[in-house]
Structure 1
Amino acid sequence: MINRTEAPELQELHHIDFVTPENIELENGAILHWIHEVNDDAVKIDFIFQAGSIFDKKLVAKLTGDMLFSGTKDKASSEITESIDRLGGFTNVEVTTEDVTVSVLGLKENIDELVAIVLDAIKNVHFDEKELSQKIQSKKQGMAISLQKVATQARRAFVKSLFDNTPYGKMTMLEDFEKIERTEIVNFHNNFYKNGLQKIAVVGALEQSQIDRLIVQVKGMTSEERLLNKYGFNYTADNIHIEKEGAVQTAIRIGRILFNKTHEDYIDFTILNTVLGGYFGSRLMSSIREDKGYTYGIGSGVAQMKQTGYFFISTEVGKAVKDEAIKAIQNEIELLQNKPLDDLELSLVKNYSIGQLLKNSDGPFAMMDRYLSVTKFGMGLDYYDKVISHLQNITPKRIQELAKKYLKWEELVVVSAG
């Protein structure tokens, strides 16, 4: 019998036993990844298209993704939605700069019918003029409201400063909504959805016959991979302030171009990021929120793209303490550069990070996400063994070296709006 008065013995983690998906190369060039070791009847299927916003006008890509379920010549959008709801299904469309993921969730007994409905909607979407006009006006109104927010203004100025002169720095303007033509949406759909299916990720205890039917259903969708142009991603450190009359808050974004997980310093830098602003007990939260009371929340992170990545700090503070908050952020960065962490703080960060890795790898659905996040960069699941090894072996000196190398204040872009 388990003695519940005694804590279980702690064991050091060295490896996560991931379930490796079965990979099937389709005739159309796409790859199907399948995890079938699932203990219930839940099924999730992701259709991943190379249809991100860098391949055309940002607004065209976003509108196309938003209208995938707007109806075909034979079915109105309401009919599609009702059919999915009747089967207990759920769909989601996520448009990013590089890819679009269309997700379908449902039960095993209904997934064949759900997939048929979803693929019919995607392949045969009509882009009705009236619905498109309504969507454009709705998006325009939403953007007009968003542009009044200091957080939006700071984010746009920050991204433009880092990625100016590349497609990643493209900004949609309000006047762009008046220039959109239906033919642009139709052409983008033909080029990047009908000819842009890259991957299908299936998680569910399906029968082989169900997978075979799925493969037949996507047969007419070709997989024409488009190589991304090589960009230099050069940026210039800057200090930008956008004055907004009447604003109570000031939004702050600070950061720089960095790298993605293919870089040798990526794993260790993410540990540094956790120390600085990557969890609730971070240096920035403790200083800017807890000690000084300048904000309700502040954090930092590393965003990744296929060719590069960037580091960012994000917060909103009272307008009157904008300068003090930025100076306090600078002080925390310089403290990491000048004084090594003590062993207790680093141990806390290591344990938190390993706990988050285990949490984010728990179960077949999470494992598929972890698999896709590494194969996107041509890597395998052994990458996570490297993460664990780095977490266990990183030293305060290494954290300090990385802070000195990558977080020089004079090399950062500092943006404030308010």
Structure 2
Amino acid sequence: MNIPNRQQGPRIFSDYNIQLPSFKSTMLANDLELIELNDGSQEIIRVDYVYKSGRVNESVRASAKASFYLLREGTRNTTAHQIAEKFDYYGAYIRVFAGLEYSSLSLVVMSKYFEEVWPVFLEMITDPDFTEDELSSYKRIYSEKLRNELSKNDVLAYRRLTEIIFGDQHPYGYNTEPSDILALKLDQVNAYRDTCHGTNNALAVISGKYSEKVSELCKASLGAIDMKTSTFKQEFFNPDIKHVFEKLATDQTVQTSLKIGRKLFKRKHSDFSKMQVANTLLGGYFGSRLMKNIREEKGYTYGIYSSVDVWKEDGFFYISADVSNNAIEPTIEEINKEIKRLQTEPVPDNEFRMVKNFMLGQILHLIDGPFASGQLIKNIYAKELDIEHFKNHIDGIKGTTKNDVMEMARKYLDEKSFITVLAGNF
């Protein structure tokens, strides 16, 4: 009998060979791209119908999200109640996502009931019927939700930060208000749907375990959707940004929300992977330097993190924490100290290896099962990337050096370029 040595930890696995599962892509006759990932052991199917449009394409504020959320509120032949009743009966569910650059309508159902609910799901895509009553209900619910969100310091600080970075006329920067939602008119929501829901600007992803019959049914019915070309235009206005330190006075007295950030680059930028490694070291995971110093050692906050958010046309870096008023200045001071360390000191071997393994492990998690893999592939295609970009990102993480990290910190984390926003009761 072999007794393990409890004083010696298990070997750290670092030789990651990350491969996406095989999938099939078909361009249907109406310019709709269909991606199929037939895998898994559970008899469950997920279908994502993706529109490569979102808030960046709206000419009337709040119209994009309304046009997608109202898809589940009835068609010309089926009411919202009938749709809900049908899906509940077969244990299926519908999910709507409305994002900045793409949006989706998703169906999850057991394989044996797919043919029962598929016609209704397809009807929601091809023949939605937006009514005044449903729009009024949507406006009431979502304006109140937004009003509740605007009572939070964290939300207010984030909104103001992005508004300063991108500008109040930029789709990445302007802030939707409850009044924008309440002012929506039905013809405005219909106009967004008519201009941005075209098949040439859409993508369908089927994942899970399903039969060839289901595959052929999806190809035939999705391919039969009337071809419609999206006609939207995108306009981006970038403001001149200067170093800003701004305080927003609120009624929330518990903690002040601190946001520090700056404009960065687009998602296809050559520095993306290297900057992600630098960001992860600084504040991108629970064991990051900011967490260890400001949370664990100093006790200034319950949590602090940094993030790199990139999109098709632009991106930004930011640091976020909630602190008491008497800890604001010490927190900012410690943040600057950690950035300075990243700029001037090579990362120790153990920490560098651990962070890279963490990042690669997170990517492995993204392909854990057919649904997760399907979502990753959906995101890659919806963001107008390709599989090579995904592979290059993995290689970029592996190939990032300690000197690269210091270079990224010096290049992008100069405190003189930072915008700082505080939201709280001062």
C-alpha separation in 2, matches of 1:21 and 1:227:
30
C-alpha separation in 1, matches of 2:354 and 2:230:
43
State the TM-score, normalizing by the size of structure 2: 0.90
Corresponding residue to 1:220 among 221, 225, 240: 225
Contact conserved, 2:35 with 2:204, CA < 8 A, in 1?
A: yes
Stretches of structure 2 that go unaligned for 5 or more consecutive residues are none
Corresponding residue to 2:269 among 263, 267, 277: 263
Aligned partner of 2:187 in structure 1 is 183
Aligned partner of 2:370 in structure 1 is 364
Q: Does 1:166 align with 2:170?
A: yes
Aligned partner of 2:246 in structure 1 is 240
- Counterpart code for 1:190: D
- Counterpart code for 2:348: D
Q: What does 1:372-387 align with in structure 2 at a 5 Å threshold?
A: 372-376=378-382, 379-387=385-393
The residue matched to 1:296 in structure 2 has which SS?
strand
C-alpha separation in 1, matches of 2:393 and 2:76:
50
State the TM-score, normalizing by the size of structure 1: 0.91
Report the CA distance shift for 1:274/1:221 in structure 2 as closer, same or farther (over 3 A): farther
Corresponding residue to 1:141 among 144, 150, 172: 144
Aligned partner of 2:38 in structure 1 is 36
- Counterpart code for 2:126: K
The residue matched to 2:62 in structure 1 has which SS?
helix
The residue matched to 1:301 in structure 2 has which SS?
strand
C-alpha separation in 2, matches of 1:117 and 1:412:
50
Corresponding residue to 1:65 among 64, 68, 71: 68
- Counterpart code for 1:312: Y
Corresponding residue to 1:78 among 70, 78, 81: 81
Q: Does 1:111 align with 2:114?
A: yes
Report the CA distance shift for 1:358/1:229 in structure 2 as closer, same or farther (over 3 A): same
- Counterpart code for 2:343: Q
Q: What does 1:5-404 align with in structure 2 at a 5 Å threshold?
A: 5=4, 12-56=14-58, 57-164=60-167, 165-193=169-197, 197-218=201-222, 219-222=224-227, 224-225=229-230, 229=234, 231=236, 233=238, 235-236=240-241, 237-245=243-251, 247-376=253-382, 379-404=385-410
Cα deviation for residue 332 of structure 1 reads: 1.5
Cα deviation for residue 114 of structure 1 reads: 2.3
Contact conserved, 2:62 with 2:176, CA < 8 A, in 1?
A: yes
C-alpha separation in 2, matches of 1:396 and 1:313:
22
- Counterpart code for 1:354: L
The residue matched to 2:322 in structure 1 has which SS?
strand
The residue matched to 1:297 in structure 2 has which SS?
strand
Report the CA distance shift for 1:10/1:284 in structure 2 as closer, same or farther (over 3 A): closer
Aligned length: 417
Report the CA distance shift for 1:144/1:11 in structure 2 as closer, same or farther (over 3 A): closer
- Counterpart code for 1:351: N
- Counterpart code for 1:83: K
Deviations 1:29-50 (A, max 9, x none): 1100111133331211110013
The residue matched to 2:332 in structure 1 has which SS?
helix
C-alpha separation in 2, matches of 1:243 and 1:137:
27
Contact conserved, 1:262 with 1:377, CA < 8 A, in 2?
A: no
The residue matched to 1:110 in structure 2 has which SS?
helix
Cα deviation for residue 417 of structure 1 reads: 0.7
C-alpha separation in 2, matches of 1:298 and 1:216:
50
- Counterpart code for 1:174: P
Report the CA distance shift for 1:363/1:178 in structure 2 as closer, same or farther (over 3 A): closer
Stretches of structure 1 that go unaligned for 5 or more consecutive residues are none
Name whichever of 176-185 and 272-281 sits farther off: 176-185
- Counterpart code for 1:224: T
